[in-house]
């Protein structure tokens, strides 16, 4: 029986060589938003290693939208060239280059994890973050500046402008980051959005910002290229965003031209106990795929080739995204192909190690 994990997946006019995606993973290694040699090697090695889709980490659409001062960015044209070099290399290895466009919202201006991850003050190179309201993420975080209607419109334009730059850089897939407690998720979740204007209150109001971003991005992104959205499919706590909300939203996003939902979870508020374990989020991908009738990607503690194959064969998702497993082993796809009996091409430079 042929492997589904190594079957091509077509989204609009783009065909991925297999159904393995490199999940966007922040490297906290940029300077003023610019990609450097670290990003080239990090992303390029995963393309050499056989993944089908390589998603560049959360890439900020404006400078105050970075999680940390060390995040990548696409808020100015000068960022294009260093990312274009990476996209070209990925394409030459037979993989598809993509980029996740993001805004960190109230979780912005923090130090890299290995520097403690705490808030970075303006006098130390940080800035005041923005959010749906004035509530900070936690007791150690600064109070964000609430976005007014003009500020929301500015961020929508920033996503659209970054999309144009992404296309110029040669990316073939764009993913909008609306998960993990960052700005778009902050507007979605009733735990973090207490607004009383047209961007708050009801499901329609809380989802308006994301829907406007999707519309603006889709207008700038060529019709033949796919658009993905990463959602936190549940907040894992009472009174928060639910998988039912995600299903309803996914139906709306499909009508707006979104081609796949990347199904993650959590991150809106601190202190939530998440029942992690192998494949703990695949249930969300399965329900959204079935009930919203849109392709989905599963992510979260997917480690073995047989586990990934099982997710696809049981129709829980259309592709899988791997994160930590691909940090441990950039060549996981090549090893997975061998264990599943799939015949995939190796880079000719590495062919001598195939057997």
Rg (CA), the chain: 19
Rounded Cα–Cα distance for residues 19 and 56 (Å): 17
- Pair 108, 67: CB distance under 8 Å: yes
**Following DSSP, what letter does each residue of 251-268 receive, concatenated?**
HHHHHTT--EEEEE---S
Own/partner pairs, 273-280, CB within 8 angstroms, 24+ separation: 273/236, 274/236, 275/236, 276/300, 276/301, 277/301, 278/302, 278/303, 278/307, 279/307, 279/311
Which residue, among 235, 294, 338, 328, has the nearest Cα to 45 in the 3D structure?
A: 328
The first and second tokens of residue 283, run together, are 């249930």
Beta strands in 111-239 (DSSP E): 130-131, 145-146, 173-178, 227-232
At 227 the three-state DSSP class reads strand
Beta strands 9-11 and 14-16 are antiparallel
User: Would you tell me how many other CB atoms lie within 10 Å of the CB of residue 315?
Assistant: 12
Question: Known catalytic residues?
Answer: 182
Residues in the chain: 355
Beta strands in 184-339 (DSSP E): 227-232, 260-264, 296-299, 319-322
- Pair 8, 48: CB distance under 8 Å: no
């Amino acid at each position: 029986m042929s492997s589904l994990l190594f079957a091509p997946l077509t989204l609009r006019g783009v065909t991925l060589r297999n159904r393995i995606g490199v999940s966007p993973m922040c490297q906290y290694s940029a300077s003023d938003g610019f990609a450097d040699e670290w990003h080239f090697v990090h992303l390029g090695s995963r393309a050499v290693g056989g993944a089908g889709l390589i998603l560049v980490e959360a890439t900020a659409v404006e400078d105050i939208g970075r999680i940390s001062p060390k995040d990548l960015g696409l808020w100015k044209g000068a960022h294009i060239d260093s990312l274009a070099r990476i996209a070209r290399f990925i394409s030459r290895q037979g993989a598809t280059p993509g980029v996740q466009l993001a805004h960190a919202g109230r979780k912005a201006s923090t130090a890299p994890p290995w520097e403690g991850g705490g808030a970075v003050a303006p006098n130390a190179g940080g800035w005041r973050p923005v959010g749906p309201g004035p509530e900070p993420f936690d007791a150690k975080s600064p109070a964000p500046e609430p976005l007014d209607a003009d500020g929301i419109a500015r961020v929508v334009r920033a996503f659209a402008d970054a999309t144009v730059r992404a296309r110029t850089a040669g990316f073939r897939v764009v993913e909008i980051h609306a998960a993990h407690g960052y700005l778009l998720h902050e507007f979605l979740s009733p735990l973090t959005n207490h607004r009383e204007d047209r961007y708050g209150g009801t499901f329609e109001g809380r989802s308006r910002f994301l829907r406007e971003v999707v519309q603006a991005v889709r207008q700038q992104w060529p019709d033949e290229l796919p658009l993905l959205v990463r959602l936190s499919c549940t907040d894992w706590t009472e009174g928060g965003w639910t998988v039912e909300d995600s299903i309803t939203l996914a139906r709306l996003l499909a009508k707006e031209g979104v081609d796949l939902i990347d199904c993650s979870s959590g991150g809106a508020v601190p202190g939530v106990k998440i029942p992690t374990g192998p494949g703990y989020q695949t249930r969300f991908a399965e329900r959204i795929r079935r009930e919203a009738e849109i392709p989905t990607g599963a992510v979260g503690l997917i480690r073995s080739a047989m586990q990934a194959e099982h997710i696809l064969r049981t129709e829980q998702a259309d592709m899988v995204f791997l994160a930590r497993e691909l940090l441990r082993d950039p060549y996981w796809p090549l090893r997975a192909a061998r264990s599943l009996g799939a015949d995939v091409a190796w880079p000719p430079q590495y062919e001598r190690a195939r057997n």
